Amino acid sequence: MNYNKINNLLGWLCAFVATLVYVVTAERTASWWDCGEFIASAYKMQIVHQPGAPLFLMIQNIFSNMAMGDKTQIAYWMNVGSAVSSGLTILFLFWSITALGRKIFVGNANLSTALNPTQTIVVMGAGVVGALAYAFTDTFWFSAVESEVYAMSSLCTAVVFWAILKWEVRADEEGADRWLIFIAYVMGLSIGVHLLNLLVIPAIALVIYFRRSKQITKVGAFKAFMIGVVVLGLILWGVIQYLIKFAAFTDLFFVNTLGLGFGTGVTFFALLVVGGLIFGIWYSIKKVKPILNIALVSLGFIIFGYSSFAMITIRAKADPTLNNSDPDNAFAFLSYLNREQYGDEPLFKGKYFDAKPTDAFDAGNVYRKDKDKYVVARKKTKYSYDRETIFPRIYSDRGEHANFYRQYLGLGPEEKPTFSDNLKFFFGYQIGHMYFRYFLWNFVGRQNDVQGHGSTLEGNWISGIKPIDNMLVGGQSDLSTSEKENPSRNTYFFLPLIIGFIGAYWHFGKKQKDALVVLLLFFFTGLAIVLYLNQSPLQPRERDYAYAGSFYAFSIWVGLGVIAIWEFLSKKVNVKSAAIGATALGVFAAPVLLASQNWDDHDRSEKSLSRDMALNYLESCAPNAILFSYGDNDTYPLWYLQEVEGVRTDVRVVNLSLLSSDWYMRQMMKKVNDADALPINIDPEKIKDGVRDVIYYYDYQIPGNVDLQAALEVMLSDDPQNKVPLQSGESANILPTKNLKLQVDKQAVLANKAVPAIWQDSVVDSLTFTYPMGYVSRAELSVLSILANNNWKRPIYFTTTTPQQFYLGLDKYLVSEGFALRLIPVDTKVEDAEQGAVQHTEEVYDKIMNKYQWGNISKAKYLDPDTYRYLTFYLSSIFGETAQNLLQDGKKKEAHDVVLKAYENLPKKIFQMGEAMSYIPLLDAMYQTGESAKAKEIALRNLTYIKENMHYFASNQYIKDLSAERNVRLALVGLQRLKMLGEQYKDADVQKATAELWKQYGYFFGE
């Protein structure tokens, strides 16, 4: 067999192995975060959140057909789509490594130039080690088993880098530049998946320079690099943004000035661009200008690939169920592409987090489409501040960010940050914590999967070599059993990292130009992203997926490390034995080690809580309900379950964080699936973009509670008497009081069965409440309008994870019906009751026994943090509270049913210290219902967890670590309550264990 056949065969074999592993370990249903939205949107060709991924959705739609009509399998087959994309990424990575390895021996010689058998072994060994090492890294494997864009984006990156290496070998052949055009087309297509692929361009520019330049100089290389950066900028801003911006403003001229229809300007501009490209290409051929020719042809193919975004506007005009931003016109589409919904982060100049605005100025118009023309919806506003800096890194004043900056930087409450603090946060947090920690996860090891915000105990890297870990990381002495047995604790002993460093050092020594290309790829897909994203702290999830391309580049060096080791060994033994030995060493030190360590926490085949939580939310609702949700992990699984599996489509899911947008509020006024439109009853003209974006509270000092309908009339009035003047000279609507009331039609309440039978005698005459916020966005305005117009025809619910402020002060009228809180016209609050909603126990019992599903959490070998963070809610609010309420009602048999259901469906281990406390109501119910043995088993298990972790904290003197302090406080409460439980039910074993634990660690608690 010749080199090419071996290269192809082993490449496809690596791809097959990787794909098989991904298919086996893929999640069987929708995963957390964006996956539910992507699956639902791909299935019905709908519009996802900005800036969209149309090509990804279209390809995933193809994979959905593999389900053969079984809607419950559609999510799995889309996950398989990511698995296949990831497997193909490994194929092209293998070929890239072997191409670079082959150049060590024969340079850019024709592919027909043969390597000797030893060289072939070591080059193929490098490909296998590097490709499979990357296949089993933490970050890449995670994305490979779920329906997200990052797997397909990695494939685009791999194809482009492989293609430039193919061009490099053939650059002297006639027609070789077709490879460059191919690269341009793939890049254009990749925009419809994710923009990360474009970061390969500077590396490509260097490859072209090194291959085509007759004389290589440092100045020439720098110029080539800068040209690559400029090309990257031209595509990122010129093609992706300004092309659409020019089209939008051309449409503005055609519509507003010439009086033509919407879209005519866009059509004219598109024809102008196409005509200009055709003319330019014709001119370049006629005048024999090859560089201009290939530049224009490549630009044409980039735009052609980019045209996948036409799907966005086409489907937006069809107004599908999920139609994020409704980008059906040029300006809405421009806003969609620019991610204006999310705002901008400052890059070159900006404020400190404690800065105060000193001036405001206009920064352009925002246009919206009206009936027959575009109008200015509002002005963009920018601010100047009293304290600004270049290269701003500590700029965010949102939420708890300012407190985090002060804590991280050691600043006092009133101490002003300096530029050195700015750099300290950049190097320590943005680079250290948010990049190099992730890098080390992939090639050194990972402590656990608890999301870390800087704590020693959470989400750190480790190697498995205890002295080194204690010195560099800390906290690796006397690990608890739970920590040692944590599936997400992965130790690689620095081996993949060392092989990669060996490969990089050797590569720079042997082929400095090629190594520089790989270094550029490594930098631009890693640290350059850190610079560009300028991430604020307290991210809602780990962000390592953004840097997968950087880990891809390092894996090339992991592969080339095999050749470096071979070269060293060949001085000690014969070259063939050295080749086999180096390959074997690399295989076991990288892919085998990574696969064996990472399998247990990347096997998601047994998990289903994302899907089952959505089911439980829906099953908590009465028919034809309105369900308000807030976060991604509440909403996206709900969208998936309704849009794909068709479950409970009578329930109208309303995302409160989107409801502040005019487009989403309009969509809520339309019927969807089996769910009627929301009874908002507001003229869309009164809430369109730029009109009542925010209504501020202005205290008119009105005595008593004002009728809600009257307050709405004031907020929606166009009468100048109902507005207040602004500094700009304009006037704005206001909320005149926070003290509101909603009159209750008791006959309508009873007729619509809006109140459970047990509370029908307690219906109040009106709901009186105090509005909690100082402003009213479209979200709150919509909820208030629904309350005023619904008249109890449709049940109204909030998911239990909705922030309390969005209850709008109606907390005392909420009852728990399981995983959702229902609004009823009954004041259910008791003065001495603990905080939280009163439970409709009979209803929750029925759902626990007959409707709810539990995500296989009792049997799955691995649960991720997004899954197990729900356990405390299961323990306290679902099982524990329900069992306790049933016992209080004298329903011991039903309480026993709940206890057994809990024991059967909850995990047989503890994941967080808070669970020890949350178990108490359930354990108490177990003792009362005759399940003392089960209660003892769980109590002793929890005490063991507390004991081991307290020993861990004590031995490492972690009491100053904020995470440890929190866990110690939770341990104290859990221990006290378990102690009381043991004494109450005279459980000698529990009493003995708590007494010993208190005696040993009482000093932690001041005793």
Q: What is the pLDDT of residues 873-918, one digit of tens each?
A: 898 889 999 999 999 999 999 999 999 999 999 999 888 888 888 8
The DSSP annotation for 315-378 comes to HHHT--SSBTT---SHHHHHHHHTTGGG----SSEEE-TT--EEEEEEEEEEEEE-SSSEEEEE
Residue 481: predicted pLDDT: 84
With a pLDDT cut of 90, the percent of the chain lying above it is 77
pLDDT tens digit sequence for 786-821: 999 999 999 999 999 999 999 999 999 999 999 999
Does residue 644 share a domain with residue 506? no
In-domain check, residue 359: yes
Q: How confident is the model over 660-715, as pLDDT tens digits? A: 999 999 999 999 999 999 999 999 999 999 899 999 998 888 888 999 999 999 99
Query: Do both 821 and 970 map to the same domain?
Result: no
Classify residue 482: in a domain, yes or no: no
Q: Output the pLDDT for position 970.
A: 83
Cα separation of the two ends of the chain:
76
Confidence band of 1 (pLDDT split at 50, 70, 90): low
Residue 868 has pLDDT above 90, yes or no: no
Contacts from 183-187 at CB under 8 Å and sequence distance 24+?
183/298, 184/297, 184/298, 184/299, 184/301, 184/302, 184/305, 185/301, 185/302, 185/304, 185/305, 186/156, 186/159, 186/160, 186/305, 187/156, 187/160, 187/235, 187/302, 187/305
Asked if residue 1004 has pLDDT above 70, the reply is no
pLDDT at 508: 96
| Residue 273 and residue 171 share a domain | yes
Nearest-5° angle of CA 366, CA 370, CA 375? Answer: 35
Choosing from 562, 578, 602, the residue where a domain stops is 602
475 or 933: which carries more pLDDT confidence? Answer: 933
Q: Which two tokens stand for residue 779?
A: 């979200």
Q: What is the pLDDT of residue 36?
A: 95
Pair (627, 772) in one structural domain: yes
Does pLDDT of 831 surpass 50?
no
pLDDT for 7 beyond 70: yes
- The amino acid that residue 448 corresponds to is N
Residue 396 within any structural domain of the chain = yes
**Residue 750 belongs to what H/E stretch?**
helix 746-751
pLDDT > 60? residue 960: no
Alpha-carbon distance 640 to 656, whole Å?
18
What pLDDT digit, counting tens, does each position of 392-448 carry?
Answer: 999 999 888 999 999 899 999 889 999 999 999 999 999 999 999 999 999 999 988
Same domain, 155 and 288: yes
Residues 6+ apart with CB under 8 A from 374: 251, 252, 255, 256, 331, 367, 368
Confidence at residue 728, expressed as pLDDT on a 0 to 100 scale = 66
226: in domain: yes
pLDDT in tens, 362-375: 888 999 999 899 99
Q: Give yes or no for residue 963 having a pLDDT over 90.
A: no
Tell me the C-alpha to C-alpha distance, in Å, between residue 695 and each of 690, 712, 717, 781. Answer: 12, 11, 12, 9
| pLDDT, tens digit, 9 for 90 and up, residues 593-622 | 999 999 999 999 999 999 999 999 999 999
pLDDT of 491 over the 50 cut: yes
Residues 673, 532, single domain; the answer is: no
Q: How far is it, in rounded angstroms, from Cα 193 to Cα 849?
A: 43
Q: Is the pLDDT of residue 833 over 60?
A: no
Do residues 691 and 615 both lie within one domain? yes
For residue 458, is it within any domain? Answer: no
pLDDT at 965 over 90: no
Buried b (16+ CB within 10 A) or exposed e, 979-990: bebbeebebeeb
Using pLDDT thresholds of 50, 70 and 90, give the confidence band for residue 954: confident
Quick check: is 864 in a domain? no
Is 760 domain-assigned? yes
679 and 728 assigned to the same domain: yes
Which of 602, 628, 660 represents a domain boundary (last residue)? 602
Q: What is the mean pLDDT of the chain?
A: 91
Read off the pLDDT of residues 205-236 as tens digits, 9 standing for 90 and up: 999 999 988 889 999 999 999 999 999 999 99
Query: Rounded to two decimals, what is the model's pTM?
Result: 0.93
pLDDT confidence tier of residue 961, bands split at 50, 70 and 90: low
Residue 752: per-residue pLDDT: 92
Report how far apart, in Å, the C-alpha atoms of 993 and of each of 483, 941, 942, 945 are: 21, 10, 11, 12
- pLDDT surpasses 70 at 734: yes
The number of distinct structural domains making up the chain is 4
Domain boundary among 387, 417, 447: 417
Residues 616 and 589 in one domain: no
688 and 817 co-located in one domain: yes
Give the Cα separation of 921 and 888 in Å (integer). Answer: 12
573 plus 617 within the same structural domain: no
Residues 286 and 362 in one domain: no
Would you say residue 466 lies in a domain?
no
What is the extent of the structural domain holding 636? 609-840
